[in-house]
Chains A and B, each alone.
Chain A
């Protein structure tokens, strides 16, 4: 390493990878109880993680949760904004998940046709 710029570059790259420990921001929660997993929550979760990584979304964390109660609508993905607002997406697929990241997380536009309100 010969310059400070090189150091800064390594830092910025590495930072995103350990931000998980102690960051605050948007939380994407995937229902991963038996019902969720049976309905295909794992590929949804994986595509969310992949998308977050691809787009370098350092202030977004993807976590799982248990059964939310509406098992018939699984896989369910909930997005908690920093301000406490919550949007619930239902009957998710990997493709839908990618769209949610692009539209909702990146551009701030809720994909209303996937929400629980439109499908219940």
Chain B
């Protein structure tokens, strides 16, 4: 590695890559070469920076200049101005990093989006080159593994994790140290350590980003866990839909093996640990741990009843621990900085930080990490930058298809495992979908049910048949055929499924319905009794009409695909509601917003 005076960090996360960051990288190499700066300026492809909304993201150090929406052609400008002459290209900076009053340029770490965050699991994402083991080591990487192997007994490690209060980040929230102690206590000649990277919630991409940005942290944590429970073999179960994460992980595993950090006799302590990748085909249910085990063994991914728990009888009937990616990302930090440091962050029963994928109706779509106990208001308005277009906040959905909604009244509630459950939602893996006044809550429930019906493995009847019937009822309501008593039927079925389904997927599948009925019963009633969709989403319940604001420009009539709008030039137009297919083309075409739907 050479010493360079300037580092150009280009985001290589999935978000930025899909908006063209690889082309940006290519152009930077060309421009830097053209200007003869190869020996002074280094280009590094990192993991996700988190602010995916403004991608492709490029950060130039030592200044920490945060360039947003960088296009390939901008590489020329940044190279010639910033890298060659040291003049930061203000026009290309992230809007918030330019202080208007003083015209000062803020570094990436000073903008609001990052100020409120606390990055533990994401600490290296967007900071190091994930494909370079030396950079990970420079950030104290593998020091935790060294410490564990040379100074601590397996029991010490487990106690340490127990004391830290770390709970599983995949959704369940089970104390990680306690889980480890079950497998450590099980007597067997072979045990397994598994990383669950089968991230399936719609809109969630925390685990993918950790693996893309800091794969070595997962390898190190798995080796530590292997030592603690007595496992010499690990597997990372990851979906094939995450090609960049798989590739970086493969590179990282190869580097770790090359450096003797995986394999036989690590650090000369006699501890052996090997790691392999297992690709999943992307079935949601395979994130459930017993289904995941089936899938690794080569069978169809279907859950089985618990007990026996995997910690006693897991992979090939051997004691197995399955931890989520984000859970593992915390482990090396806890070992190095101590259980007390970790347990000082967060709330009484939820320690540490949590990564959330912010999506939906929010300005700063992206990935954030906050201490447990941060309020939703801080997340949405301070880090997330609020709701676009001045719309009114309605609810936030957490926990994906297994979770529920949290409404305006609860914006000031601190986010932690127990509080979210009390509010009828759950932490889940960390998807956070923000909804505004234009979202219909019945339709949201229908969307999630549609997902679970699709993903139900079909093994147990409550989930296979029950979710299907619920979806039918929701479709009936959103299409305007709802009858009195439907809400009660939905509720009854929801609780039956909750009580009788085999695995977590089925037991939590009714949550979106239960929670939307709990907080937005009036919307359900409006659909059923008044045949109206208050948010204006459900097509069958809408009527488009033209108000007196019409200037008679004929644009709507020309854009209507079914020719149902009539009227003379410069006179009020009329929609034939019988023929109207409610496509909304006229509304988009109208220059004076004279068309409304109700």
List chain A positions with a Cβ less than 8 A from chain B.
1-4, 7, 10-11, 13-18, 20-23, 29-30, 32-34, 37, 45-46, 49, 52-53, 61-66
Contact = CB atoms under 8 A, between A and B. Distances in A.
A30 B86 contact: yes
A23 B62 contact: yes
Q: Which of A1, A23, A30 has the most CB of B within 10 A?
A: A1
Interface residues of B, number: 38
A14 B85 CA distance: 27
11 contacts: A1-B260, A2-B260, A10-B134, A11-B143, A15-B138, A17-B1, A17-B134, A20-B5, A22-B64, A65-B87, A66-B87
Contact of B137 (A14, A30, A53): A14
Q: Which of A16, A17, A18, A37 has the most CB of B within 10 A?
A: A18
Contacts of B487: none
A49 B86 contact: no
Given A1-B259, A4-B150, A49 B85 contact: no
Interface string B240-261: 0000000000000000000111
B84 interface: yes
B7 A65 contact: no
Contacts of B259: 1
Contacts of A13: 1, 134
Contacts, number: 100
Interface of B: 1-7, 9, 39-40, 61-64, 84-87, 109, 127-128, 134-135, 137-143, 146, 150, 259-261, 265, 267-268
A37 B61 contact: no
Nearest to B36: A42
Contact of A63 (B5, B9, B109): B5
B267 A4 contact: yes
B109 A62 contact: no
A20 B61 CA distance: 6
B86 A53 contact: no
Nearest to B266: A1
Nearest to B145: A7
A33 B85 contact: yes
A61 B5 CA distance: 7
Contacts of B141: 11
Contact of A45 (B5, B7, B109, B150): B5
Contacts of A18: 7, 128, 135, 138-139
Contacts of A7: 137, 142-143, 146, 267
A21 B108 CA distance: 11
B134 A14 contact: yes
Contacts of B39: 46
A120 to B, nearest CB: 23
A20 B143 contact: no
A18 B139 CA distance: 9
A75 to B, nearest CB: 13
Contacts of A32: 84-86
Given A1-B260, A3-B267, A20-B61, 18 more contacts: A2-B265, A4-B146, A7-B146, A7-B267, A11-B138, A14-B135, A14-B137, A17-B2, A17-B4, A20-B4, A23-B62, A29-B86, A34-B85, A37-B84, A45-B40, A49-B3, A64-B86, A66-B86
Minimum-distance CB pairs A-B, first 5:
A64-B86, A14-B138, A53-B3, A14-B134, A1-B260
A63 B61 CA distance: 9
A63 B107 CA distance: 14
Contacts of A10: 134, 137
Contacts of B86: 29-30, 32, 63-66
A21 B61 contact: yes
A13 B63 CA distance: 22
A46 B142 CA distance: 34
B213 to A, nearest CB: 14
Contact of A64 (B3, B85, B268): B85
A109 to B, nearest CB: 24
B360 to A, nearest CB: 32
B158 to A, nearest CB: 22
